[in-house]
Every structure is written in structure tokens, then in C-alpha cells.
């Protein structure tokens, strides 16, 4: 019998943890009532705070409410520094120091700081939070994975994550890391379902057709195996994950034109996330409403996002005044949202034109940002030239150009990578 499996999706703003108890259990996101930021109680703030005077650390909800200053350092969005990108990025192995507080006084952009914070955050998950989320579970027997935003499983970044998780006391069979685009795709298309075949005692295989039965990808695989792929040279799935600080694009393309199943995988991240949308919306709010919004806690922002962005309703502020309280203000906010959505759509189009798939058969829209109907509608319009057959999204709207729509269950929208990474598929790959 396969052991239980956990997967950490280390998001820039929120961490989600997927759990699969048996090979036949549905993968699910772990929740805790104290995680009151979202309706499912699954979003763990990816925030750490260090108080110098007594060397005290806080994490998650507690750290998110702390204010930097007077010897208190609050670390947010450190994931961007944990996976440095671009021609100037160094090898993580060459950037490490031996000091237990290496880099903690550095500013954003410091890999040493990000590595130190990440190691402590992962240790807190292992020693404190996860045991309270699944009490009684022997974590020494649970296989751990962590999603990394790349396809290379044996990169220096992956090796560093392995080392940190080892130090934190997690258990793994070989390497902890799984590709974030692949785990996102797995979570969105399987919706957390797991299935295995056991043709002989002790011989387990992932029942892929049963797990991915809602996806046309398997139909194309069958056509190719039969040698009758016709005029379809490749089958491409595009993933658009709109998060708090970034929007991540992943393209998983399978060559069908005489070369077998040769995956062509690309990924890119652009600095357009919901925090940027918040900043732009604050700029068009009248004072003192804008000043109130600047001092929102995480829980207040979550409510703001749901009421103002997703439902486009009026929202009364705690200290008075109402956002979306007039037709003029609704128009201003809608203009900001349209421009923000247009920026993501343009980045998506540039990504596709760079890698030039013949067409895009499936699109997966995940992340908290894709809960905004105006954003998903803009992305669907921008995808019209690419001949999309199926779109997986948080809430299906009216059909657009004959494209099939499949709703992603709410518990998977923000945690597709965590749910997918804990899938039995990665145990038996």
C-alpha cells in the first residue's frame, strides 16, 4: 500500500497544502478554523516575522498582522527571491552562508534572506501547523512534495528545496519537488480524484483514464497511439494562474506529428497579480476611503476582493463610506479592472506567440485572480484566435464560440497545485 502524501504549494501570498490519505482517497486541501481568510479555511499566509530583541519568530496569520519597525522584520513575497530568474541569477548553492541569521537584515532581492526565511517557514509547517491540521497522523510516514515553478526537477533550486525539507524533518522517497505547472494541471483536470490499478498483488499503477476522464487530452493520446492523428500536429494545454503578486503561464504541448509523445514545456511569470490591482483601485478611491483600504488586514482584503471584484457589489467600509457606492465610482473601478485584465491578456498573447503552438486545445484558469468574472471573460476573448476546445475555470459563463467549459470546484481553484501534487500520479510516475 502506498503511504499518504502531502504537497506544499508555496504561494507568494498564501501557502496551500494538499493531502491524500490512501491511493484511492480524493486529494484535498488541509484546513484549520483559525485560517479565516477564505471560506474554505485553507489559505496560510506565506509571511514570517522576526523580532530581533529576543530572537522570536512568528509565521502565518500571526506574522501577517505584525508591523515592521522597531527591530521587527516582516518578510512577505520572499518566494520571488527564492527562485531567482534571468541572466543575472546566481546558483543558489553559491549564495548560502553559515550564519543562522544570514541575510535577515537584507532588503528584497536577497537570496540568502529568502533561503533563511523559507527554511524557518517550512520547519514551522512541519513542527506546528500541519500536526494541528491532521492530528494523529504520523508525519514520519507521510511522503512530502513541494511545487517549484519550473519543469526541471533536478535544478539547483530543486536540490536546495530538498535540503531544506530534509532539515525540517519531512520524509521523501527520492526528491521532494514536483513541477508547479504539471501539478496545477493534474489538480485542475482530475479535481483531486485518485485511482489505481493492481493487476498483480503489490503491483500498483495509476489509473490515468479514470482520473483524467473529463479531459480531451486522453482522447488525443488514444488517437495518436492508433496511428491516426490526422492533421493535428500537437496537443497543447495552457495554464494561466493569477496569484497575489504574479501571473504564471505554463504551456504543456505534446507533439503528435510523427515524433510520439515528446512534451514541449515552457513557463513564464509576469509581475501582474491582485496586489497590483489593489494598488490601482486604491488610486481611484476618494479619501478617506483610500486611506482605510491602505490599512486593511488580510481578512479585510479577502472580503473586499469577493464583494467588489468578484460580485461587483457595494461594500461598506468599517470606518464609514462605501466602495462601489455610486455609478461613477463603479465605472472608475471597472475601468481599472479592464486595464488590468487587458495587461494579463496581452502578456498571455505574447507568451503564446513566443512559443507558437499550432493551437491551444485546453486552457486552465486557476488562482484567486481567476475568481474575477471580468478577468476570465477578457482572457477567454483573447484566446479566441487559438481554437480552444475546452476551458477549465472557477465559474462557467455563457458559451463563447462553441468552447466547452468545465467548472473547477472551489476547493481546487486556489489550490490546484497542492491538490495535484498530492495525487497518486506522482507516487507512481
The CATH number fitting domain 219-388, selected from 3.40.50.1820, 3.30.420.40, 3.40.50.970, 3.40.1010.20: 3.30.420.40
Residues in the chain, pLDDT under 70: 85-99, 153, 173-174, 214, 216-233, 255-264, 396-400, 429
- Report the candidate in 247, 257, 279, 290 with the shortest Cα–Cα distance to residue 357: 257
Inter-CA distances, 320 with 203, 307, 334, Å = 64, 16, 22
Rounded Cα gap, residues 297 and 295, in angstroms: 7
Report DSSP state, residue 368.
Answer: G
- Report the candidate in 14, 119, 100 with the shortest Cα–Cα distance to residue 64: 14
CATH of domain 5-192+415-428: 3.30.420.40
Inter-CA distances, 69 with 73, 122, 174, 249, 313, Å = 7, 24, 42, 36, 36
Residue 236 C-alpha cell reads as: 497543447
Give the pLDDT score at 229: 44
Rounded Cα gap, residues 267 and 256, in angstroms: 21
H-state helical runs in 295-382: 298-304, 327-355, 373-382
DSSP assignment string, 269-302: EES--HHHHHHHHHHHSPTTHHHHHHT--HHHHH
Rounded Cα gap, residues 212 and 195, in angstroms: 10
Rounded Cα gap, residues 376 and 398, in angstroms: 12
Phi, psi of 83 (to 5 degrees): -125, 70
41: left (phi over 0), alpha (psi -120 to 50) or beta: left
Residue 38 C-alpha cell reads as: 477564505
Look at residue 57 and give its three-state secondary structure: strand
Please count the other Cβ atoms lying within 10 Å of the Cβ belonging to residue 183: 27
Q: Is 294 exposed, middle or buried (0-12, 13-18, 19+ CB in 10 A)?
A: exposed
Interval 138-175: pLDDT, tens: 998 899 999 998 877 677 888 888 888 888 888 776 67
Q: Show the CA angle centred on residue 392, arms to residues 390 and 395, nearest 5°.
A: 125
Q: Which residues of 253-263 are buried (b: 16+ CB within 10 A; e: fewer)?
A: bbbbeeeeeee
Rounded Cα gap, residues 223 and 260, in angstroms: 11
Residue identified by cell 522584520 is 73
The answer to whether residues 413 and 367 touch, using CB atoms and an 8 Å cutoff, is yes
Rounded Cα gap, residues 309 and 338, in angstroms: 11
Domain borders along the chain are 5-192+415-428, 219-388
CA 127 to chain centre: 23
User: Same fold for the domain at 5-192+415-428 and the one at 219-388?
Assistant: yes
Give the pLDDT score at 88: 52
Long-range contacts of 210-215 (CB under 8 A, 24+ apart): 211/423, 211/424, 211/425, 214/189, 214/406, 215/189, 215/362, 215/390
Look at residue 59 and give its three-state secondary structure: strand
Rounded Cα gap, residues 403 and 387, in angstroms: 8
Interval 13-62: pLDDT, tens: 999 999 999 988 999 999 999 998 888 899 999 999 999 999 999 999 99
CB-based contacts of 335, cutoff 8 Å, min separation 6: 284
Inter-CA distances, 425 with 60, 176, 260, 317, Å = 30, 14, 21, 46
Rounded Cα gap, residues 353 and 43, in angstroms: 34
- Report the candidate in 372, 376, 366, 383 with the shortest Cα–Cα distance to residue 398: 376
Rounded Cα gap, residues 95 and 109, in angstroms: 12
Beta strands in 207-278, from DSSP E residues, in sequence order: 234-242, 247-255, 262-270
Give the pLDDT score at 225: 52
Residue 146 C-alpha cell reads as: 513541494
Give the pLDDT score at 352: 93
- The pTM of the full predicted model, rounded to 2 decimals, is 0.89
Amino acid at each position: 500500500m502506498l503511504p499518504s502524501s502531502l504537497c506544499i504549494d508555496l504561494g507568494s501570498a498564501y501557502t496551500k497544502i494538499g493531502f491524500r490519505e490512501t491511493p484511492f482517497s480524493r486529494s484535498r486541501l488541509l484546513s484549520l478554523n483559525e485560517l479565516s481568510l477564505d471560506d474554505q479555511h485553507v489559505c496560510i499566509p506565506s509571511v514570517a516575522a522576526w523580532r530581533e530583541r529576543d530572537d522570536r519568530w512568528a509565521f502565518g496569520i500571526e506574522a501577517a498582522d505584525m508591523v515592521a519597525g522597531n527591530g521587527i522584520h516582516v518578510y512577505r513575497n520572499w518566494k520571488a527571491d527564492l527562485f531567482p530568474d534571468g541572466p543575472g541569477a546566481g546558483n543558489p548553492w553559491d549564495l548560502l552562508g553559515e550564519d543562522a541569521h544570514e541575510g535577515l537584515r537584507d532588503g528584497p532581492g536577497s537570496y540568502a534572506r529568502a533561503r533563511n526565511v523559507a527554511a524557518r517557514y517550512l520547519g514551522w509547517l512541519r513542527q506546528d501547523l500541519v500536526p494541528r491540521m491532521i492530528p494523529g497522523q504520523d508525519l514520519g510516514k507521510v511522503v512530502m512534495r513541494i511545487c517549484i515553478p519550473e519543469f526541471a526537477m533536478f535544478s539547483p533550486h530543486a536540490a536546495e528545496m530538498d535540503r531544506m525539507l530534509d532539515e525540517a524533518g519531512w520524509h521523501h522517497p527520492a526528491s521532494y519537488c514536483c513541477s508547479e505547472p504539471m501539478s496545477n494541471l493534474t489538480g485542475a483536470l482530475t479535481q483531486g480524484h485518485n485511482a489505481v490499478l493492481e493487476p498483480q498483488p503489490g503491483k500498483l499503477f495509476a489509473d490515468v483514464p479514470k482520473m483524467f476522464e473529463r479531459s480531451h487530452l486522453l482522447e488525443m493520446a488514444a488517437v495518436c497511439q492508433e496511428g491516426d492523428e490526422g492533421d493535428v500536429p500537437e496537443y497543447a494545454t495552457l495554464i494561466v494562474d493569477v496569484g497575489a503578486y504574479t501571473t504564471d503561464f505554463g504551456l504543456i504541448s505534446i507533439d503528435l506529428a510523427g515524433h510520439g509523445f515528446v512534451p514541449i514545456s515552457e513557463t513564464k511569470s509576469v509581475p501582474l497579480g491582485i496586489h497590483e490591482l489593489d494598488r490601482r483601485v486604491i488610486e481611484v478611491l476618494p479619501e478617506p476611503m483610500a486611506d482605510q483600504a491602505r490599512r486593511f488586514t488580510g481578512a479585510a482584503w479577502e472580503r473586499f476582493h469577493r464583494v467588489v471584484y468578484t460580485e461587483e457589489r457595494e461594500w461598506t467600509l468599517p470606518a464609514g463610506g462605501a466602495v462601489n457606492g455610486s455609478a461613477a465610482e463603479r465605472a472608475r473601478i471597472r475601468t481599472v479592472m479592464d486595464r488590468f485584465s487587458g495587461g494579463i491578456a496581452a502578456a498571455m498573447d505574447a507568451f503564446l506567440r513566443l512559443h507558437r503552438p499550432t493551437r491551444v486545445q485546453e486552457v486552465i484558469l486557476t488562482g484567486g485572480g481567476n475568481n474575477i468574472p471580468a478577468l476570465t471573460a477578457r482572457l477567454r476573448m483573447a484566446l479566441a484566435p487559438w481554437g480552444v476546445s475546452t476551458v477549465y475555470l472557477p465559474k462557467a459563463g455563457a458559451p463563447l464560440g462553441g468552447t466547452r467549459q468545465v467548472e473547477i470546484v472551489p476547493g481546487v481553484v486556489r489550490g490546484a497545485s497542492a491538490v495535484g501534487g498530492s495525487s497518486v500520479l506522482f507516487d507512481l510516475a
